[in-house]
Structure 1
Amino acid sequence: MSSAREEVLARLRAARDAGAPRGGVPPVPRDYHRSGSLEPGGEQVLDLLVERVEDYRARVLRASCDDEVAGAVARCLDEAGSRRVVVPADFAAGWRPRIGDRELVEEHPSAPLTVHELDALDAVVTGSSVAVALTGTIVLAGGAAGQGRRALTLVPDHHVCVVRAADVVETVPEALARLDPSVPLTFISGPSATSDIELDRVEGVHGPRRLDVVVLG
């Protein structure tokens, strides 16, 4: 068994060395496209974000000022029939939907909700750290103001996310430059969805089956 293993490894090394360029392996080019042509937060990059997010079967509402955010969030919750809603304890007071006949639950870092408690809630409302227009991706940073922990946005079936226009960039490298890699990051590209070998799409397997995005600015 050992001799057979050594023979296989020897053949692999010989094949590797035969194809290697003289002088060793050339350096890998790192001239990535780090900045986009669209101004962060500008109308063009916002239009591109809306287009890409909607491609993922998510819905986008626009709010021109802080006062309109709460109304847009309430509309999303009403249309989805979400009545039991959780928000991070530090979620902006002015962005919170009117209570009405809803139950609004706060999650505090010192007293996180259990998975069963989260599963009993209809929706979660959070802010975000940055959004990538080119890919339609929204990024939440664990522990950042108004964004909560990862589990908070992965268990409830409906996620309403507020994105500031100033936090929208065109490319992934631009977004990464704004993020702290030492904290947990959640990258969201539309509602949770997967397909089996027959290409039958199933939503809600790995996270919320419904995503609504409110773009502020």
Structure 2
Amino acid sequence: MSELLKIRRQTQVERRAESEQRLLTAAAELIATEGFAAASLERVGATAGYSRGLASQKFGSKDGLVTAVIAAVIARSAELLVARDSDSASPLDSIIAYADVILLQIERDPFIRAYWVMMASAIANRLPNQTQFLAEHEKVKARLSGLITQGQDRGEIDSSVDPDAAALSIGSTLLGIGIECLLDPALDIPRVRAAALATISRTLAASTKV
């Protein structure tokens, strides 16, 4: 393959990646600020600065757009966790890091706010794609439950804690804060974030009493 052809192909890949990111960003901002119904594929394309049909070509349908935004939220969370080197932390620290990343995203990132709006819309309207959100939440619950079990094995997390129930409780706390933020944009998220992290830590930490 000639160098010129390689450059052209790389440029095409870069252009596709850029257009997809711009479309996803436009979708997230529309959904977060105006609601799920406002983010038609045509409007997403126009808001991103492309032809109105490009979003349809990229995502195929509104359900396809939902799937893409969910994937983007998960990828962004994973990148933030990697940046914090959470995999090398203790189980309890990894749980706190995960909760902190989600809460920071709620505070700063329109993508996760769009996620909550889409989920609320799916539940309120009994849409079939609510199963996508349930599936992702089950993955998070399994991950947190596994970390809790690991922490119990190490003596770091209270052995009386029910891993599955505690994992669900942590996820529900983060979910509730996200929904509350949508209801009250003036919510003092840093204050709530600090309280939530302290509560999770106190709930899970093994007793130091002798």
Normalised by the shorter chain, which TM-score bucket? Answer: under 0.3
TM-score for the superposition, normalised by structure 2: 0.23
The structure with the greater share of residues assigned to strand is 1
Considering only CA atoms, is the larger Rg found in Structure 1 or Structure 2? 1
TM-score for the superposition, normalised by structure 1: 0.23
